[in-house]
Structure 1
């Protein structure tokens, strides 16, 4: 019994960095929208693949190369194009959204490690969510108490009548349900592929978000911003083409018997595990 409690407490401690990174990613992204537009925030958040690569190098999920460095520079150039001549530029909004991009790269790298390393026993996405979500909720609650004006809660136009309360609760429940299934889908993708697959889907999601912001919220969309977004998407596409070629070469290097018995998933190779396999006695 004591051993089980110890293992559970250790596991909770292990997922804390991932939960903190996820909570900061979400909260910093939301905080940035107080200062900048949805379009500008979405474009700046497209820098997340850069930080994903950096953390992948640090956690030995990926080996550095000049090709990857070039791809990172292309993505960085796209981010600079989105910021250039921004008429609604706000320093704190830009800082918040860029910090969110850093946290995004960190949390997806950590999520992949937790989902794919056997030692943690968290290969089931729902199991990982059950450990991560309470810590996320606690940190979000503390940040809300520290930064939000709870004294204005009763006078808010969202809760000043029974009809507004019902509508607001419905929107919260609906948005929360969508967010739950979105995160669950992302975790499933990471568990069977890699964090970069989520990045591919994220680029499509960002493009849709920008279109909605332009047509529904009437955000300004210039040709310079469009060029920056296209450059970012081109850089991410190059990165995924690079990964596809690398994985294809690795598959060709596997002997016929191994290929017939096991399917090699398209995911980051955790170099630490490869080193362990090479040094272990046969």
Structure 2
């Protein structure tokens, strides 16, 4: 009974780092759009696999190797190509979107640990989201008070009359609903696979976002940016291929079967600390 009460008391504090990382990722990405275009921001966001790998190393979700370092180098070259000769380059916009990349890598690694580690009791994505969302909302509210010019609230074109207020609220409700189901889908993917799968889907999402920005917002898209984006996608694809090959090799190794007893899907990261525990038991 005491253990259950202790778990209920400590669980909200356990999800705080993940919730804060998620809130910072979303809000820093949005703030960056004040300074830079959607296309440029999306291309810079493609750097998130680099930080995903670094945090995966730090949290022992992945083992460092020469191949992975080479993949990080390829993605980094792609980012440099997208930034090179950027005529509308804004320092603070670039800094904000890169900080969002750091938070993205952190929060997805933490999300996977919380969703897949039995001891936390958060394997259900809905339960996990119910714990994370309140902290995210509070953090977003505080960041909004700090970053947004609230003195201009009534003077902007979105809230200067009753019709604009109604229309803006409908747009926010529609966007919020889409965001809710998008995040829930991502949590479901992470719970049964890994952050790698989310990264794969993210590459497709980024490509669609860039196409919409070019055709709808008429964002400038050069050949150099295209080559950079293609290089980033190749790097991400190589990372996913490397992970797939590693997992396939692990399935053929009888010694790894005991390590994978607690896994419910082949595509998961294997948390190295849990592997050590299994070795000790054997």
TM-score (structure 1 length as normaliser): 0.95
By how many angstroms is 1:154 displaced?
2.0
Q: Where does residue 103 of structure 2 map in the other structure?
A: 103
How many residue pairs are counted as aligned between the two chains?
A: 281
- 1:127-169 deviation digits (Å, cap 9, x = unpaired): 1111111111101101111222222222221112222111111
User: Any stretches of 5+ residues in structure 1 without a counterpart?
Assistant: none
By how many angstroms is 1:265 displaced?
2.3
By how many angstroms is 1:55 displaced?
0.3
Q: Where does residue 48 of structure 2 map in the other structure?
A: 48
Please show how residues 1-282 of structure 1 align to structure 2 within 5 Å.
4-254=4-254, 264-280=265-281, 282=282
**Which secondary structure state, in structure 2, belongs to the residue aligned with residue 155 of structure 1?**
coil
Q: Distance in 2 between matches of 1:274 and 1:3?
A: 25
By how many angstroms is 1:264 displaced?
4.5
Matched-pair contact (CA < 8 Å) for 2:192–2:265: no
Relative to 1, partners in 2 of residues 1:5 and 1:153: Cα closer, same or farther, differing over 3 Å? farther
By how many angstroms is 1:9 displaced?
2.4
Q: Distance in 2 between matches of 1:77 and 1:251?
A: 33
User: Any stretches of 5+ residues in structure 2 without a counterpart?
Assistant: none
Matched-pair contact (CA < 8 Å) for 1:112–1:190: yes
**Which secondary structure state, in structure 2, belongs to the residue aligned with residue 36 of structure 1?**
coil
**Which secondary structure state, in structure 2, belongs to the residue aligned with residue 142 of structure 1?**
helix
Matched-pair contact (CA < 8 Å) for 1:251–1:264: no
Q: Distance in 1 between matches of 2:6 and 2:39?
A: 46
Relative to 1, partners in 2 of residues 1:151 and 1:5: Cα closer, same or farther, differing over 3 Å? farther
By how many angstroms is 1:28 displaced?
0.5
TM-score (structure 2 length as normaliser): 0.95
By how many angstroms is 1:267 displaced?
1.0
Q: Distance in 2 between matches of 1:228 and 1:247?
A: 29
**Which secondary structure state, in structure 1, belongs to the residue aligned with residue 157 of structure 2?**
coil
Q: Calculate the aligned-residue CA RMSD, in Å.
A: 2.1
